[in-house]
Amino acid sequence: MICFAWFRHRHREPLDVRPFDLLCLTVAVVLAVHAPHMPAWLSLALAATLAARWWQRRRYGGRAPIALKIPLVALLSGAVIFHYGNLFGREPGAALAVGLLVLKLLETETTRDARVGAAFSCFALMSALLFDQGMVATVLVALGLLPALATLRALEPAHAATPLPRELLPALGLLGASLPLALLAFLFVPRLSTPLWGAPNTGQTRTGLSEDMSPGDFTELLVDDRPAMRVTFDGVLPPPSQRYFRAYVMWNYDGRRWSHLGTGGAPGEVEHGSVLTSYTVSLEATGQRILPALDVPVEAPDQARLSSDHEVLSASPVNATLTYSLRSASSYRLEPQLDERERRRGLRLPAGFNPRTLALAQRWRTEFGNNDKAIVQTALKLFHDGGFSYTLAPAPLGRDAVDDFLFSTHEGFCEHYSSAFTVLMRAAGIPARVVTGYQGGYWNELGSYLLVRQSDAHAWSEVWLPGEGWQRVDPTAAVRPERVDLGAAAAAAQESAGWSPGQWWLGMRNQWDVVNRWWNQGVIGFDTLRQHGLLTPFGLHDTDPGMLGLLLAVGGSLFAALGLLWAMWKRPANDPVRTSMQLLERRLAALGVVRRHSEGPQHFFIRATRALPTHRAELEVLMRTYLELRYAYDEPPAELLKNFRQAARDFRPRRMVK
């Protein structure tokens, strides 16, 4: 009963300054980790609320009035609903949780409040992994636990305040000590084949490539450095001129936008030689069914199919990193025979758009007659010699976008050139279509794979020539050949400044991707199938949940035993408190008060006061001092320790009462 009353009093006593400061730091870290996927105005508002509460408690103390808390909670809920449309789902749920955590500080005044806040901070911190499970994000989340652990440690009874770095160091030690147990749990806790909830993973399913395209759509994508896929080749790495990864084939054009026609029908005929390129693609999550493939794929991987335009389509959207193997032909004839329906589709143009472009193409047809190749070369020469420039910040285009581009602005990037070239070809009577995907990539020597980033997104054209079928034509390469060799951003930088800045940084970034690839394969990609094959090198080809549980129990027991041995080995050889206590025990034992093996110090001192009533006051002081030194401090104050040692030496019991 006394212990319960002390516990209740302890949790109701006012919170010291240091634990509250550490709790504010913990909440600030949680807010910083979640800020990238929260609206900026909400993050700033919560940060301002956090700072105001910290200042208010430092200046005046006490809880915020309930008349302020209730409107703030209602305002937070309304803001989340206003931005996201509801309170349910990953993004609105995370925003609401972080907001409530910040508002919890308004009523944090006791030890119990601080413990609740620290525990909820850990939960909110872990929820950030729902948005990004990359290595950097995981390390940041782990380090974000340090102020939470320091807060809990600062709430211990009689904890002496130390400088902030000293507060975080023990928490860092605790975090490091937990890593072996975390590794055991990662390897041996049985994994579910499906997640516990079905929240859409929109935060990791953005690729930039879509089923339609208009000039200017790729602007943000071309400066996006996130990896799109990693490709390993079974043989020789293809040269840059052959690193075209086909995604969407677009037929429909409405005067502004190109769109994907559909995926029905059998794959078109493709004639190729015996030399094929075999490779494996590790595709990042896109949320789409399209699987980029080296131009042109001759077969589909498992759980996928080829469309009529030789697009590779997965059976389901790619919501997690997907690995698939393919074979492609770099020398081919795609659909050498074109039926009348597809010919009409490849020549269709909307009426009333781009009259100057149509007139130019018809003049070429009159000049070159049936020589389609000459028309293609003339169009490429126009781009090469006509004063066109490659830039990621082109001038805006009007209703007749192709006319404006060809005869006025003369600047743009791959979308502009492929769109204008395809319109020219159709206007000249040559079937043509737009293809989007990726081109180029960085060959990582250390990891022996081709790293393709979102900034390598590209658009080119395909024209149908008699006897040759669909042939790839890249008009952007006619304007800026460096786009094929260097990539979009580097080519634009050379065009604008004459050199590409930061090449050393780009090289370091691309080399670092080896670590990201290892993380994706070894950590994020460690699924149920890989867990069941974990012990294959040891002759166990299918590790069932029972075996995993046994391994987890054995590993946990070994970890606990090692921890116990370490704690025993690390016990200080010279414990002045224990040495002084042993002196007291020897002197009391000489008078017949022998401490039993199972007897606690408090019970021992109480029994000694009964046996030696003349020394009651002295023994009670020694008992209180010993209990405070042993249980109230991590590092006992030097002055208190000195006093106890002196009192133990001065204690001289004279007789025992029976």
Residues lower than pLDDT 50 in the chain? 1-11, 196-206, 496-501, 657-658
**Across the strands, what pairs with 250?**
260, 434
Residues whose CB is less than 8 angstroms from the CB of residue 1 and which lie 6 or more positions away in sequence, other chains included: none
Dist. CA 161–CA 19, nearest whole Å: 9
Rg (CA), the chain: 36
- First-to-final CA distance of the chain: 32
List the helix and strand counts (H, then E) for the chain: 23, 18
Query: What pLDDT does 203 receive?
Result: 41
Query: What pLDDT does 57 receive?
Result: 86
86 phi and psi angles, rounded to 5 deg: -165, 180
414 is catalytic: yes
Closest CA to 224 of 243, 197, 238, 206: 206
Among left, alpha and beta (phi > 0; psi -120 to 50; other), residue 245 is beta
Both tokens of residue 35?
Answer: 């800020």
3-state secondary structure 218-266: CCCHHHCCCEEEEEEECCCCCCHHHCEEEEEEEEEECCCCEEECCCCCC
Q: What one-character DSSP code corresponds to residue 407?
A: I
| Active-site position among 295, 474, 532, 615 | 474
CA-to-CA separations, 107 to 20, 45, 252, in angstroms, rounded? 11, 18, 60
pTM above 0.75, yes or no: no
522-529, long-range: CB < 8 A, 24+ apart: 523/133, 523/135, 523/138, 523/186, 524/133, 524/134, 524/320, 524/321, 525/321, 525/323, 526/186, 527/191, 528/191, 528/192, 528/193
532 is catalytic: no
Contact (CB, 8 A) for 418 and 488:
no
| Active-site position among 372, 403, 414, 456 | 414
474 is catalytic: yes
| Active-site position among 34, 260, 416, 458 | 458
